Amino acid sequence: MQDTAPVFRFVEERLGVALNGADAATELSSLGVDSLTLLELMFEIEEKYGVTVGRDTTPPRNCGELVALIERLAAANS
C-alpha cells in the first residue's frame, strides 16, 4: 500500500475531522461516515483522482480499504 497521507488529508478535509491516530484499520463509520456520506465520498474520489467507481464496487469499510480502492482504480485507469 502506498502513502495513506494524501487520502487521509482528503477525508479530513471532506469530513472536517482530524484523523490523528487513524490507521488502515480505522473504521469509516467511527469517523462519522454513513452510507450517504460514503456515496458522496465516492463521487468526490472520482472527480479528485480521475477514476470511475463501478456500481459493483464493494464499498470500503475502513481507511485501508479506501486507500486500496483508490489505488486499484487509479492503476486500472493508467
Cell of 45: 474520489
* Overall average pLDDT of the 30-37 stretch: 89
Which DSSP helix (H) or strand (E) runs through 63? helix 63-77
Q: What contacts 53, CB < 8 A, 6 or more positions away?
A: 42, 45, 46, 69, 73
pLDDT of residue 22: 81
pLDDT of residue 2: 54
Fill in the DSSP letter of residue 56: T
pLDDT of residue 21: 79
Residue 57 — very low, low, confident or very high, per pLDDT cuts 50/70/90?
Answer: very high
User: What is the DSSP track for 12-53?
Assistant: HHHHT---TT--TT-BGGGGT--HHHHHHHHHHHHHHHT---
pLDDT of residue 53: 92
- Give all domains of the chain, ordered by start, each with its CATH number: 5-77 (1.10.1200.10)
